[in-house]
Amino acid sequence: MTTSEHVWNEYLDEDALAERYLIPPRTAQRWRTSGGGPPFVRLGKRRVLYRVADVEAWLAARTYASRADELSRRPVAEEAP
């Protein structure tokens, strides 16, 4: 495998992301719009790639031992004045 092939294999396009992580492609699109998903790289007007390491880190930050663990890590909502 050449260096360029190795680097290319570390990225997923939207369809590959959806297939690998069992999500609809529309979910990835919504995440990009809302800012709620993993970081992405935009190459041109329509080409979007996801670095596998970034996606894995994003998922790891959202991995919980229990529901209580998840709730304890949520930011506390600010009260309205």
Q: What is the mean pLDDT of residues 45-61?
A: 95
Domain boundaries, the chain: 3-73
Q: What is the CATH number of domain 3-73?
A: 1.10.10
pLDDT band at 79 (very low <50, low <70, confident <90, very high): low
**According to the model, what pLDDT value does residue 77 have?**
64
Distance of alpha carbon 22 from alpha carbon 80, whole angstroms: 38
Q: Which residue has the tokens 């992301």?
A: 17
For the CA atoms of the chain, what is the radius of gyration? 16
pLDDT tens per residue across span 1-23: 555 555 556 999 999 999 999 99
Distance of alpha carbon 59 from alpha carbon 56, whole angstroms: 5
**According to the model, what pLDDT value does residue 44 have?**
92
Q: Which residue has the tokens 């190795």?
A: 6
pLDDT band at 78 (very low <50, low <70, confident <90, very high): low
Structure tokens at 72: 């304890």
